[in-house]
Structure 1
Amino acid sequence: MESAIGLLLSGSAGYQFFTREMYNSDLDTYCVFEACVVVGQWYLSAQYMFRPRTHQLPSFSADFERMKEAQDGIGDEDTDYNDASIVQVWDFENSTLERIQLIAARHSALEVILSFHSTCVMNFISHRAAYSLFPRTTFKHKAMLVVDNGRETPGSNEGVQKYVERGLKVIHSPSVTRILDTTSDLVAVSPRFVNDSRTWCVPIEFCGSTDPQPDFVEANSFKMEYHHETNKIIWMAITGPGC
């Protein structure tokens, strides 16, 4: 299913994959809004129960339809996120209190990941591979560049603090050397691509009954921009499976 709809795992799960450390955290999953109904039903079939937030309807199907009507302009859109890349977030929980978050992306799952609070969480897993977009900064230098993409996301400061407590230092402005170095993952003088030479990519064995679909997420590119103490990631969302 992941290969057909472009479901991505990110958040702490992506970070843990590369560090081999374990944290008590939710499993964050991302896909385009239209595909969320399939993913949500899949979680329900795996004995996860939908846990509505205060503004959500009691059943997942009903709340998905509410949000679909909002996207069609005939209903109200009520979410916890002031983030243009996110439509809605749904929580699922099993009998052992393990929780999965299903994050609905407006255009692209990768667009949501590139909107995160800092570079240290820009790691994700697709049906073909695990990717880290800023591996040298994150895992070699044990640091994270705080990113401001022009939006305030609730919990972003708490998110930064969480990784400070995990041993990472905060970079507010990278050095000129790193900005100009074309081998640096923080380079600003040349564009970045998913799975370029600065990315860590760990292939994952595909266990499906048919040949896996291409990893369309690798069609995406982005660019770092630095203005005084403001760090931005510039991209144009490419829609499609795994993007």
Structure 2
Amino acid sequence: MLRIPTKHTSQRQPRLAYECAVGELFGRAPIYDTIFSCVSPRTLVRIGRSCRTAYAASKDFSHRAYNIHRHLSRFLSEPLNFRSLQARTGTLIAGSNALQFLDRTFYPDSDMDLYVHPGHVREVLDYLVDKEGYKFRPDSTQPKDYREIVSDEWDGTQIRDESLDDDELLLYYQIRGVESVLSIERRGRDGLLKIQLIVCETSPFDAIINFHSTCVMNFIAFDAAYSLYPVGTFEKRETLSVWRARPLHDLTVEIKYGERGFAWISTLPAGTSPQNSPFYPFTDRTVGDRYTWKLPLDTRGVALRSQMNPSSSVFQCDPVIYNGWALERVQYGMGTVYKTIKSSVFRYNYTTTNYKLNFKLWLFAIEQGFLSRILLENNLLEKESWPWYVDTIVA
């Protein structure tokens, strides 16, 4: 029997046709995988907000596209154990490796850079050598055995720079905050694999925020991946130079990232404001703020850090979230500025643009550090029970 459409059914036809088309597009993984693989992270999120079917499809795609264990498996045979090591040590994966993960791309000849807090370098190196089969490859200035230059003893009770002066120096490799670089290698399925351990003078974040440009200011912690300039990096495909002391004729970095699809910007034009720039200049920033892209990672099976001693508070997440900075005009362009918080009452060092907070923490560190040191010198406190404060920091 032929059914003649009524006015009511004719009004529903466009919507039914739309739902049918959406079901065809986002109801089959091979189809929506092809679509999503060609869009930026922001577009992926926006498509997912269009309807329930698209949301489910985008979630399924993201779960597979941002599979951290698959990403790490190129360099590590036990990614979950390595992430537990990250949780214990606050080690961050940064550089082009983190960029590849967030950009869902692959650079065949790239290595993996690990940024390590002071006091954890030996533990990280021993794990990669003993558990993952890597071998130390010293440069011309380093001994053959890394144990000669990386001690397994670190005294966190020693006085650090607890003054108000932030007299940072440009150290090795023309990157502020980098003390040394240790290279390890092993043979993998795809050839030679190389990991570089960046021994940080103060903290991993202090070194990362002084990278050559914004497109590599991304990092992977044990619990989340972060991009500090996601719009400029993944939407505009631009990278803003952050000034550092390197020869003007050295165009290696510009060429390399130009070949990877990023337009190099030397500086921001006069009159640029935070509202009209994807680099948010002249703005106090913190890790995880509304300008940051934070991609939570599945932490099931990751062994979280235990309480360091009965007097210490517990790390609930990676301490990188307690850092802050700003992008300002410096000598020859744009640069990152901040004050460094360094004290033996904190297990790690931090950065902030909040001068009032910096002053209050300085006073707290002086008083608490003095008290703890008096107790230590009079044998009323053991080094193993030295109180370290964690959640006191609010960048």
TM-score by structure 1 length?
0.84
Please give the residue correspondences for 1:188-227 in structure 2 after superposition, counting only pairs within 5 Å: 188-206=281-299, 207-210=301-304, 213-226=316-329
Q: Is 1:29–2:124 an aligned residue pair?
A: no
Determine which of 54, 57, 61 is the counterpart of 2:140: 54
Q: Is 1:152–2:246 an aligned residue pair?
A: yes
Determine which of 96, 99, 104 is the counterpart of 1:20: 104
Cα displacement (A) at 1:156: 6.8
Cα displacement (A) at 1:3: 1.2
Q: Partner residue of 2:95?
A: 11
CA distance in 2, matches of 1:52, 1:155: 28
Q: Partner residue of 1:76?
A: none
Aligned positions, number: 230
CA distance in 1, matches of 2:249, 2:113: 15
- Secondary structure at the aligned position of 2:150 is classed as helix
Distance 1:228 1:27, change over 3 A: closer
Unmatched 5+ stretches in structure 1: 73-78
Deviations 1:56-76, CA, capped at 9 Å, x for gaps:
1001111324xx9xxx9xxxx
Cα displacement (A) at 1:190: 2.5
Opposite residue 158 of structure 1, the aligned amino acid is: T
Unmatched 5+ stretches in structure 2: 1-84, 159-170, 306-314, 351-395
Cα displacement (A) at 1:15: 0.5
CA distance in 2, matches of 1:83, 1:166: 22
Cα displacement (A) at 1:241: 5.3
Determine which of 260, 267, 270 is the counterpart of 1:173: 267
Q: Partner residue of 2:223?
A: 128
Opposite residue 33 of structure 1, the aligned amino acid is: P
Find the structure with the greater CA-based Rg: 2
The answer to whether the 8 A contact 1:179-1:186 is kept is no
Determine which of 116, 127, 131 is the counterpart of 1:42: 127
TM-score by structure 2 length?
0.53
CA distance in 2, matches of 1:219, 1:90: 27
* RMSD (Å) for aligned C-alpha atoms: 2.7
Deviations 1:200-229, CA, capped at 9 Å, x for gaps:
110011122457732211111111112585
Flag the structure with higher helix content: 2
Deviations 1:69-121, CA, capped at 9 Å, x for gaps:
xxx9xxxxxx9624441111111111332111000000010111111100000
Q: Partner residue of 2:358?
A: none
Deviations 1:118-157, CA, capped at 9 Å, x for gaps:
00000000011000001100110010000114x3389974
